Structure 1
Amino acid sequence: MNKKRILVVASCANSLINFRGDLIKRLIQEGYDVYTAVDSYPDKVLARLKEYGVITPLEYKLQRTGLNPFNDLKTIFNLKELIQQNNIDLVFPYTVKPVIYSSIAANMSKVPVISLITGLGFTFTGLSLKAKVLQRLNEFLYKISIRKNKIVVFQNKDDRNLFFERNILKKINRTEIVSGSGVNLDQFKFRVKDNSFGKTNFVIVTRLIKEKGTHLFIEAAKVLKQKYPDSEFHIIGSVQNSPSAIKIEELESLHDEGVVVFHGSQSSVLEHLSARDVFVLPTYYREGVPRSILEALSVGMPIVTTDAPGCRETVIKGENGFLIPTQNLESLIESMEFFITNPDKIKEMGQKSRDYATKRFDVNIINNNLVNMINSVLAK
């Protein structure tokens, strides 16, 4: 009996390992032949995928940023060709462009699709004219691409509700919700952090753009560092090529002044999370469920984040952290200051974070749900 073939389509090769590695391994264990498709593969990613047992890592043409109708059509027909040449039985795309283009290509090929909406990002923040224009365009592209998909999977209820409210999907469309990409609890092991008598240190791990709340974290650090000199404020992330990017010169200057500790991009954040006390992400970017928060939960860190789609899923108010209004510096400072003046709460709330991660965000729970969906579609 021939094995069913699943094509996982992404925009970034590293995400296949970091976000979907456990799912890919699980699908192979379930007896599926798994193919992957991105625009290009670093050698390290290729090696890992082959270790997993991926049949053939495929490449397709993708313009990651911007919109060009000619290039977009080339991408769709390129994906259609890959689907048909490799006799794919089911397509599983995630992130915006792979979802839109792969869904169109698969529907043209009469191949079923389970698409994963991992967050709506900048275009659905609606904070600028550009965002509003892109939002309307993306709504149209989603409408024409995903309505025929067998299942559309969301990472939070807010995004699903928005798709129904905007008539992107209809009530007849099958939708499901999973709690983010999940976190490997064995990889991000729990550590007890007893900080009853020590200084409190905070960390943010994100792309260094304003929408992710990096500038708010910096402003809070300026205020709190002056008031509590022993406290530390760690920033981990890569500087972006974006109009809203935090300038490297500003970060280096603040680092030299001792206001923040800037680590730059890190291939592994585990040791940093294990060494810090409180995780902060004051984002107003339209998140799915931020993977960085899930990793912090698993390690056992209290969380300070925004009461916004995706983020609000990760905090039980007052138990494992605090939810603050978006773009509210005063609330951010107040929540962070709580842990400086109540260091004994770090251990207690960190334990509750780990408990919550175990109960809701274990990658095995997420992958069980996704595999059951895939089985249900391919069994028909």
Structure 2
Amino acid sequence: MKIVLISQNASPGLLIFRVDFIRYMVLSGHSVYCFALDYTDESKAVVESLGAIPVDYKLNKTGLNPIKDCIDTFSLSKKLRKIKPNVVFSFFVKPSIYGTLAAWLAGVPRRIAMLEGLGYIHTPSKNGMSLKKRALQAAHGVLSTLGYSVADEVLFLNPDDPNDLSRKSWINQKKIRVIGPIGLDLEKYPFNLLAKSKPVRFIFIARLLAEKGIFEYLAAARIVKKTYADAEFIILGGLDSFNPTALSESELQAVIDEGLVIYPGHVSSVHEWIANSHVFVLPSYREGFPRSTQEAMATGRAVITTDVPGCRETVIDGVNGFLVPPWNPDALAQKMIYLIEHPLELKRMGEESHRIAVEQYDVHKINPVLASIVTGETQ
């Protein structure tokens, strides 16, 4: 078959989240075309090294100009018409809608849309949903109704997302499928024993945004250090100066100078930092099915995360970690202190995390299932 993947970006969209799937589809004998908005010569070369074909296209990732979106959709449909694919598989919020519409306009026989998370506009803050977010949700609902009406299947990673989106849009329930995590190559995230001789080290891996829980993480770290000054708190993630909810560069530097956190900047091996930590912490307000948590679990680390969509799917409370309420640094700090005071729990919960990862996150088990959904072929 000719398979088209329509992503928002080359990385992480294709070259991290989809790289194993691309490789699997190519090795299965399919011709794979990878569409992205931000290709460089280097990222195109990586796609080509996988045996796939990189293709540029245009779509405003965050804009709300319907005329421009229509023009971009028709332009995309022309590219698809030239390729004549059997299947178009589109993911991320806007590509899943407009990519599916473009595939329908191009007469593509099979059209699969996937939402890996509902994104910023469906993520509440401590003060609830703003009027702006509610307006954007309404607009997203209308577009979802339109775009997914011509999809053969609409895939979600957790059960909360289709339920919440269905309150804002109409989607044929027979088309909806919750598939769980996309998975990862467990060989790249091998189980590592805990470093018992070191102070307990907590690690946060995400963009440094309010909705990822960075401010709750910092507040909890400050509470913990009042009692356990030698506890260490790592932050891996990039700053986003254009996002109004982001941790600013000056705020980050202040907590570094205070000695509250360790921030190494860009790192080439995330797995090494996870392996040298004891507990993975993600106090996010909402996720699809966080890859960073999967990586930490595969490595064999206890997890503290929030009881919200996407995050709650990764932790069995009290088994491989803890679920805490969102926006609650006191509750987060309490669980951190518990793990410091009960080191045997770190080992037990880490082993449980690894067991769950092996059972549920192995991409070599997941890829054949996803491929059968995308192509419509039975396994």
Which TM-score tier does this pair reach, normalised by the shorter chain? over 0.9
More displaced stretch, 155-164 vs 247-256: 155-164
1:160 aligns with 2:162: yes
1:41 aligns with 2:39: yes
Partner of 1:151: 153
Deviation at 1:375, TM superposition (A): 3.2
Deviation at 1:104, TM superposition (A): 0.9
Partner of 1:74: 71
Task: Answer whether contact 1:190 1:298 (CA < 8 A) is retained.
Answer: yes
Q: What is the distance in 2 between the residues matched to 1:246 and 1:233?
A: 16
Q: What is the distance in 1 between the residues matched to 2:377 and 2:344?
A: 49
Partner of 1:254: 255
More displaced stretch, 362-371 vs 311-320: 362-371
State the SS of the aligned residue for 2:263: strand
Paired residue total: 372
For residue 337 of structure 1, what is the amino acid of its counterpart? Answer: I
Identify if the C-alpha distance between structure 1 residues 313 and 266 changes in structure 2 by more than 3 Å, giving closer, same or farther. same
TM-score using structure 2 length: 0.94
Deviation at 1:80, TM superposition (A): 0.3
TM-score using structure 1 length: 0.94
Deviation at 1:51, TM superposition (A): 1.2
Deviation at 1:194, TM superposition (A): 4.8
Task: Answer whether contact 1:118 1:180 (CA < 8 A) is retained.
Answer: no
Deviation at 1:128, TM superposition (A): 1.5
- List gaps (5 residues or longer) in structure 2: none
- List gaps (5 residues or longer) in structure 1: none
Partner of 2:137: 135
Task: Answer whether contact 1:306 1:312 (CA < 8 A) is retained.
Answer: yes
Deviation at 1:91, TM superposition (A): 0.5
Task: Answer whether contact 2:118 2:161 (CA < 8 A) is retained.
Answer: yes
Instruction: Note the 1:287-366 alignment, pairs <5 A.
Output: 287-366=287-366
Deviation at 1:317, TM superposition (A): 1.0
Q: What is the distance in 2 between the residues matched to 1:44 and 1:164?
A: 39
Identify if the C-alpha distance between structure 1 residues 82 and 177 changes in structure 2 by more than 3 Å, giving closer, same or farther. same
State the SS of the aligned residue for 1:93: strand
Q: What is the distance in 2 between the residues matched to 1:62 and 1:147?
A: 20
For residue 10 of structure 1, what is the amino acid of its counterpart? Answer: S
Q: Deviations over 1:84-108 (max 9, x none)?
A: 0111111111100110110111111
Partner of 1:22: 20
Identify if the C-alpha distance between structure 1 residues 378 and 318 changes in structure 2 by more than 3 Å, giving closer, same or farther. closer
Deviation at 1:168, TM superposition (A): 2.6
Q: Deviations over 1:31-70 (max 9, x none)?
A: 110001111312332222111100x211011222231223
Task: Answer whether contact 1:252 1:262 (CA < 8 A) is retained.
Answer: no
Partner of 1:179: 180
Q: What is the distance in 1 between the residues matched to 2:100 and 2:239?
A: 32
Q: What is the distance in 2 between the residues matched to 1:375 and 1:6?
A: 8
Q: Deviations over 1:313-336 (max 9, x none)?
A: 100110100011111122111111
Deviation at 1:167, TM superposition (A): 4.3
Q: Deviations over 1:129-181 (max 9, x none)?
A: 2111111111111110012211111101111222344443123x322222222
